Amino acid sequence: MSAPLVPLTSSQIRKRGLKMLAIGGSIFAAILYLMYWLSAHNYHFSFAVIGASLPFAFACIGFIELMTGAPYLKLAQSWMSLRGWQRGVLGTFIVIASLVIILCVVTFFVMMFT
C-alpha cells in the first residue's frame, strides 16, 4: 500500500525551484569554465556541445518554478490548454519582451564599460 501524495505548497515548490536553479546553474557554469579553459589551451571541440546546455535547461525550469511557485508540469499543461492563437500571441510577446530586456542589459553594460 502506497502513501497518498500530498500536494506541495507554493513555498515548497519555490524551494525546489531554487535548488534546481542553484544546482543547474553551478553545473552549467562549471562546464562553461571547463570549455573556456580547454579553448584557451588550444583544444578544439570536434563534437557537438549541445549536451553541455542540459544543466542550463534544468536551471531554467528551476527559475520558472522559483518565480511562479507552480510546478513546471502544471504550467506546461496550462500552456497547452490555451488556443493556438493565444499561444502564438503570448509566445511572440514573451520572445519580444525577452529580446528587449537582453538588449537593455547589454546596452547598460556596454555604456558602463566604454
Low-confidence ranges of the chain (pLDDT < 70): 1-4, 47-48
Phi, psi at 6, each rounded to 5°: -95, 125
Q: What's the pLDDT tens digit per position in 62-91?
A: 999 999 999 999 999 999 999 999 999 999
Q: What pTM does this model have?
A: 0.75
Instruction: Using alpha carbons, select from 51, 50, 68, 63 the residue that is nearest to residue 23.
Output: 63
Three cell numbers, residue 75:
504550467
pLDDT recorded at residue 92: 97
Q: Left if phi > 0, otherwise alpha if psi is -120 to 50, otherwise beta: which for 45?
A: beta
Within 8 A by CB and 6+ apart from 62, the residues are 16, 17, 18, 19, 20, 21, 22, 23, 24, 25
pLDDT recorded at residue 2: 67
Within 8 A by CB and 6+ apart from 79, the residues are 87
pLDDT recorded at residue 68: 93
Residues written for the chain: 114
Three cell numbers, residue 102:
537582453
